[in-house]
Amino acid sequence: MKNLFLVALIGLSAIVGCSTSQAEEPLLGNAVKPAPGVVAAGRLKADDVARLQKAGIRHVIDLTLDAETPDFDEAQAVRSAGIGYSNLPLRGAPDLTRENVVAFDELIRNAERPVLVHCSSANRVGAIAALRAAWIDGKSEEEAIAVGKAWGLRALEADVRERIRSP
């Protein structure tokens, strides 16, 4: 698992033009680089913000509810570090709607790169990315699921498949 974090960090370092010697720790838990200029990851903690800044992250898209981290004001911490911040709170399957997919598409298209997209484990990140691939990019169900898995989709796969199949 640690190797996966290092691979994501090396990829991010190449994007922002910094050497990997600057970052001695993995960027974040469950971090993957599913697309150029994009890092998908799990929960962001207060001590992660300095790592994001050092790695050159320019924008954070947070898919968590504020109640998930009651002792950490992520928006304030990220903005104070000079990093752009957007929040699209997704509770899980109930919030995997077309409206939220369109909102996510707009956020991800307009975010300054490199961008970090995260939730608590990257599962919601992968779910919304898979639905975006199907509903916005016109990918087949299997192609969309593959995109979702590259972004962190796991436990929400059945829900995503059900939504892709529904008219």
User: What's the mean pLDDT in 131-147?
Assistant: 98
How far CA 42 is from CA of 12, 93, 129, 153, in Å, comes to: 16, 17, 14, 11
pLDDT in tens, 111-135: 999 999 999 999 999 999 999 999 9
pLDDT in tens, 62-97: 999 999 999 999 999 999 999 999 999 999 999 999
Fold annotation for 2-165: Protein-Tyrosine Phosphatase; Chain A (3.90.190)
User: What's the mean pLDDT in 95-118?
Assistant: 98
The encoded tokens of residue 150 equal 């590259």
User: What value does the mean pLDDT of the chain take?
Assistant: 87
pLDDT higher than 70, residue 24: no
Domain residue spans in the chain?
Answer: 2-165
How confident is residue 104, by pLDDT bands cut at 50, 70 and 90? Answer: very high
Task: State residue 11's pLDDT score.
Answer: 43
CA 30/CA 41 separation, integer angstroms: 5
Contact 96, 153 (CB under 8 A): no
The pTM for the full model equals 0.84
Task: State residue 18's pLDDT score.
Answer: 34
DSSP code, position 127 = H
- 3-class DSSP state of 112: coil
Of 26-35, 71-80, 89-98, 99-108, the range with the lowest mean pLDDT is 26-35
Task: State residue 27's pLDDT score.
Answer: 72
pLDDT higher than 50, residue 3: no
Task: State residue 29's pLDDT score.
Answer: 67
CA 122/CA 118 separation, integer angstroms: 6
